[in-house]
Amino acid sequence: MDDFAVVCRGLTKTFDGEIPAVYDLDLEVREGEILALLGPSGCGKTTTLRLIAGFIRPDAGEIAIAGRMVAGGGRFVPPEKRGVGMVFQEHALFPHLTAAENIAFGLDGKDSSRQIAYLLRLTGLERFGDRYPHELSGGERQRVALARALATKPVLILLDEPFSNLDADRRAQVREDVRAILKATGSTAVFVTHDQEEALFLGDRLAVMDRGRIVQTGAPDEIFHTPQTRFVAEFIGSTDFLPGVVREDGVETEIGLLDQRLDLPPGTEVEVAVRFDDVVFEQSEAGESMVLARHFKGAYNIYRLRLPSGRLLHAMKAHTELIRPGTPVRIRLEPGHPLACYHLGQAVANRK
């Protein structure tokens, strides 16, 4: 446990006798790691963050921070004594204090002015120390909030949907800044988000939550390419599901054979997780599928295709390839890598 900044075991929290917001949750975060806690609204991710912070008490389970038990076994350490810094969605800055004074809040000692100057410089705010929150942009206020959280040199930084109040253009820049700052300081961080792109960019590791439980943890590319459940596949990335039947030589689908042998008996029904870059299609008068719509994405187009069964698939083409809705097309799978396949909602292993 020595190299873990946070360890949660069997964490459970129920409000007002309802279904548990968090149930029997296990989580480990290594020192210096940025963990993205990802899931849809209501899955329990913010409750998990608040349990770690100490804002609410768990009904069951244990929490250790830097090897010290802070909740469980009859022990409950209050938030201010856990060595945790918090960055809220609304920034929660004091409006009557300047940026420098907000960062200084909670600091004391002769080195505080040096620490404030360092944090202003680290966060690119050295010219804004005398400004009040209303004089700063949303991104600048977020960086002040992060600097304030870092000022006391906490064991752990917790970030609750930190970029959701920023516009799309500003959000991309601020999350790059925040990741760089966290890495420059060697901070351990857990941040909550429902944004898949944000989690894939920021997290060294992802923990995907569903209905109060963590259903899969792993590196971003591992979660994206090998989702262990249908829920994870559906939530991470734009995924369509194509029914198929297991054969000796692959998986038979309505648009052809997927050359991928599964560890299931022939005749078993499965679902194949398909993303838009796995699908290839061409115009064909004899094609039994049809283009329904084209969505321009800048560098590429996403086409919505209707299969003979009426099922929909999405496919990508270069922005220069324009195909009108109503055009008959022939579709096939050309993923160039194994696709995730599911039986009863669980991932199926490929045959060795």
Query: Which residues, in sequence order, are bridge partners of residue 116?
Result: none
Helix axes 138-151, 168-184, angle to 10 degrees: 20
For 162-217, the pLDDT digits (tens) are 888 788 778 888 889 999 999 999 999 999 999 999 999 999 999 999 999 999 99
Q: What angle do CA 73, 2, 219 make, to 5 degrees?
A: 100
Looking up tokens 């991309």 gives: 172
**Given this model, what pLDDT does residue 257 score?**
96
**Given this model, what pLDDT does residue 99 score?**
94
Q: Of the candidates 93, 130, 100, which has an alpha carbon nearest to the alpha carbon of residue 115? A: 100
For 255-288, the pLDDT digits (tens) are 999 999 999 999 999 999 999 999 999 999 999 9
Long-range contacts of 127-135 (CB under 8 A, 24+ apart): 128/99, 129/98, 129/99, 129/100, 130/98, 130/99, 130/100, 131/98, 131/99, 132/95, 132/96, 132/97, 132/98, 132/99, 133/91, 133/93, 133/94, 133/95, 133/99, 133/102, 134/95
Q: What are the mean pLDDT values of the chain's consecutive 10-residue runs (352 residues total)?
A: 86 90 96 96 95 96 96 94 89 90 78 86 93 92 91 93 82 89 94 92 96 96 95 92 96 96 97 96 95 95 97 96 96 95 96 86
What is the SS3 assignment for 285?
A: coil
DSSP-assigned states of every residue in 59-118: SEEEEEETTEEEEETTEE--GGGTTEEEE-TT----TTS-HHHHHHTT--STTHHHHHHH
**Given this model, what pLDDT does residue 152 score?**
87
Residue 12 in contact with residue 211, Cβ under 8 Å? no
**Given this model, what pLDDT does residue 1 score?**
46
Looking up tokens 């516009």 gives: 167
The number of helices, as runs of H, and strands, as runs of E, in the chain is 8, 22
Phi, psi of 122 (to 5 degrees): -60, -40
